[in-house]
Structure 1
């Protein structure tokens, strides 16, 4: 049975709403709601800026949470999308939304933007889309509903030439069974859609003392795995 998580609220990165400026999702208000995690999301958005993280070819869009922004590890330039772009010589734009996932909608109450909502509002213009599994679905979301939501997201991306789905790593802040449920659901959704899947549960993804976010080394390992998956599907 699906259940709403009421545990630790994970402030995973940067909150954007529908509407792209320079390839990066931007907030459409001048000031954030008076909610502490929302303020943190806005600050992360300001740190990122409007430009792609890297330039080159192909054009890669990353749909994710704060992992895509390198939150707590040093910022966007050390996040796995930036490292990925540097490894592949590609242009990378980040559609990162703090506190969201397949079943979670972020911390700014006036701008809920779960993965499916963002895609419906403005599909990414890219040759490659990386869809990042979110630990938010384990800590504050509904793990049992991730599969159905992932199916819908991948259906929305059916015209994108290359899509890579990335799983969730082991983090101390989440229940292992919930992480495994999400991993199984994302793997099945990717297989059903004929897309590549990058599992992280059995990888050595180093996590910071905040019990949620990858270290610089953890971000680099994720980038390495995603780059390998993209290389085998193009």
Structure 2
């Protein structure tokens, strides 16, 4: 009776084992595939960041270093070198990385937060540091954003700092106000100048996240107004 019972259950058990192994194999393939796709995406972002950094602009006046996300890099633009920092005066160095933000976990590409990248971006010096972002911090807590902001302030040191907050991109609109308020409070606490973009009426691409070419021009002109004010007040001798 027992032997006969085992014999009856054996095919079912074998079938379950096969199904389980097949499920594990598919899960493993999907995980590896996701990791591979993520690695390729991060590599593309790194290459785009490097290419944009090589297109520094020259001119007279204080040296401006921009640390930002895909907006500063010009992701999805036909001419990335025309991203919004191109509207700023004087010599401008752009140190952007798509998907990055103030918080350490804004990006899945490793240590690419603004604070992590600031030391390298500033190694050639800067009279004014413009940090633009916040959209990629939409799902991060105030504590995470605060920790990243404080690390950024330490990296910037005694240089003049202008923080440019997130605009109301349609796909992130529900969280932009919260992030903007967090950043505004942090900037005030640490003596940085803050430019809120929550009221900016800008044109976006079909993805509802990235700016059109015209959007970059308008965004850059808004930032430029604040840059000129900071330069006039904090770098009066233009050096």
TM-score above 0.5, yes or no: yes
Residue in 2 aligned with 1:171?
Answer: 169
Measured against aligned partners, the alpha-carbon deviations of 1:61-94 in whole angstroms (never above 9, x if no partner) come to 001111001111233322111122xxx2x11111
Pairs within 5 Å for 1:148-227:
148-160=147-159, 162-176=160-174, 178-227=175-224
Give the match for residue 107 of structure 2: 106
Query: Per the alignment, do residues 196 and 101 of structure 1 end up closer, same or farther by CA in structure 2, a change over 3 Å counting?
Result: same
Structure 1-normalised TM-score?
0.73
Question: How far apart are the structure 1 equivalents of 2:222 and 2:210?
Answer: 17
Shift in Å, 1:120? 4.9
Let me know the Cα RMSD of the aligned residues.
2.5
* Structure 1 segments of 4+ aligned residues over 3 angstroms from their partners: 53-56, 104-108, 120-124, 141-144
Secondary structure at 1:131 match in 2? strand
Structure 2 contact 53–94 (Cα < 8 Å) conserved: no
The answer to whether the 8 Å contact 2:74/2:82 transfers is: yes
Following superposition of structure 1 onto structure 2, how do residues 1-234 of structure 1 map, counting pairs within 5 Å?
35-45=39-49, 47-48=51-52, 50-84=54-88, 88=89, 90-103=90-103, 104=105, 106-108=107-109, 111-120=110-119, 123-124=122-123, 125-138=125-138, 141-142=140-141, 145-160=144-159, 162-176=160-174, 178-234=175-231
Question: Which of 1 and 2 has greater Rg?
Answer: 2
Q: Distance in 2 between matches of 1:149 and 1:49?
A: 22
Q: Give the 3-state SS of the residue equivalent to 1:129 in structure 2.
A: strand
Is there any run of 5+ residues in structure 2 with no aligned partner, and where? 1-35, 232-239
Check the 8 A contact 2:46/2:97 in 1, yes or no.
no
CA distance in 2, matches of 1:121, 1:71: 21
Does the CA-based 8 Å contact 1:62-1:93 persist in structure 2?
A: yes
Structure 1: 5+ residue runs without aligned partners? 1-31
Does the CA-based 8 Å contact 1:137-1:143 persist in structure 2?
A: no
- Gap change, CA 1:144 and 1:34, over 3 Å in 2: closer
> Which has the higher mean CA deviation after the structures are superposed, 47-56 or 60-69?
47-56
Per mean C-alpha deviation after superposition, the further-off stretch among 145-154 and 66-75 is 145-154
Aligned length: 194
| TM-score, structure 2 normalization | 0.71
